[in-house]
Structure 1
Amino acid sequence: MKIWVYDQPREVARETFADYLDPATTAVISIDMHRGHLEDSPDCPCPAPRARDVVAPIDAFHRQVRARGMPVVHVKSVLRPGGEDDLRGIPAAWRRTFAQHVGPIPNADAHALEGSRWTEWVTEVLPQDWRVENKRRLSAFYPTDLDFLLRNQGIRTVVFDGGFTDCCVLNSAFDANNHNYRVIVLRDLVRGTDDHLESAALSMVSLHLGLVMDSAELLVTWRG
């Protein structure tokens, strides 16, 4: 099968990573595919325009995952509407640091506020899917109940798609690895700040955290 190691394709024997590839103990985790990142509007409070390109491919991949009887988990950032989780408490670091790169972010104060349209899903979410809707910071595991949900369902491998590759996906991959899950990141179904940081993040995953694969390759490997 083909994996990516430090941004280069590598053929490896499936048996080398057999414990990563059991569909019966695998869940797909889709991160932050909501309007607060994806809306094509000047009011978008935390725009991730590069990720709009993967909405349809992610939906198509998830349909094939569901067809195999495997769970899809949708994780999104949601903050208390009064700001206690962020602006009226200890503000998230990205609010000041990311702005040093992109400049002021109009409407950033509205990012992920509970009850706002910015927390509405853009990708397809079906009733049988699992949802984790209280991500407060960069990792899908903090301070959510994702780990409890996965362990309660006997999940050992997590497959990530969504955004940002160099931010929430990377943080989630680190946390998943530290919680002793097997990690796979789908390079064609994640998007980062730019090509450079996307490549760097995927390279770090490939060296330290787990497998970087294309979604089509993973589907073929599961069938095999």
Structure 2
Amino acid sequence: MIERPRTALILVDVINSFFEPGLPNHYPGVETVLEPMRALRRKAKESGALVVHAVERHRPNVDDFEWRKLPVHHLERAHDADYFEDFRPEGDNETAVFKRRFSAFFATDLALLLTEQRIERVIIAGVKTNVCIRATAQDAFANGFEPVVVREATNSNRPHLADASLEDIDRYMGRVVSLAEGLELLA
């Protein structure tokens, strides 16, 4: 019998800033990823797979290199940086990783956490495909994890860049799969 690779789910930036209308990073259509992400999370919880909430958090009153390109955002304890609705980590198989750059791996302990749990594959979902999802998939690959992006569980306000990013991820780094296949990989 061939043993299946151990798989974890990474939910990227499921925070108010992107999903609450009126906040700076909200964009039309972003809500379409919510139900697919909920389905992936439910399946991960049922199977006991690790769920990592990778959320952007910056320190207030501390200079951050990112401010040279983007306005100040997602400060610790700020409303825009808080988890959206029912996406707060809960239960024994859920944890959080706080990131200060686009990738959930860069300057965090995510690779160490996954390695210690003997994870080989990561299912990646969240926002935005052409920025944080792509950077996370690329760094998952660079760290020796198979990145799998669920097409219905990510999107962007720049669809042409999202499509190009998904094509690159599928061609060079990992796989882009349907929600049904993503759920099966978490079973």
AA aligned to 1:47 is H
Task: Write the mapping of 1:1-224 to structure 2, written as runs, cut at 5 A.
Answer: 22=4, 25-41=6-22, 44-84=23-63, 86=64, 90-92=65-67, 94-95=69-70, 108-109=71-72, 111-122=73-84, 123-125=86-88, 126-128=90-92, 129-133=94-98, 135-220=99-184
What TM-score, normalized by structure 2, do the two folds share?
Answer: 0.89
Task: Tell me the distance in 1 between the aligned counterparts of 2:182 and 2:103.
Answer: 24
Q: Deviation at 1:93? A: 5.5
Task: Tell me the distance in 2 between the aligned counterparts of 1:205 and 1:189.
Answer: 15
Structure ID, larger Rg:
1
Unaligned stretches of 5+ in structure 1?
1-17, 96-107
Aligned residues: 183
Structure 1 contact 81–115 (Cα < 8 Å) conserved: no
The runs of at least 4 consecutive aligned structure 1 residues that moved more than 6 Å come to none
The Cα offsets for residues 81-106 of structure 1, whole Å up to 9 and x where unpaired, read as 1132x2xxx334542xxxxxxxxxxx
Secondary structure of 1:82's counterpart equals coil
Unaligned stretches of 5+ in structure 2?
none
Structure 1 contact 37–49 (Cα < 8 Å) conserved: no
Task: Tell me the distance in 2 between the aligned counterparts of 1:190 and 1:53.
Answer: 8
Per the alignment, do residues 168 and 222 of structure 1 end up closer, same or farther by CA in structure 2, a change over 3 Å counting?
closer
What TM-score, normalized by structure 1, do the two folds share?
Answer: 0.75
Per the alignment, do residues 202 and 93 of structure 1 end up closer, same or farther by CA in structure 2, a change over 3 Å counting?
farther
Secondary structure of 1:127's counterpart equals coil
Q: Deviation at 1:220? A: 3.6
Per the alignment, do residues 53 and 83 of structure 1 end up closer, same or farther by CA in structure 2, a change over 3 Å counting?
farther
Q: Deviation at 1:221? A: 5.4
Two-structure CA RMSD over aligned residues (Å): 1.9
Task: Tell me the distance in 2 between the aligned counterparts of 1:203 and 1:191.
Answer: 13
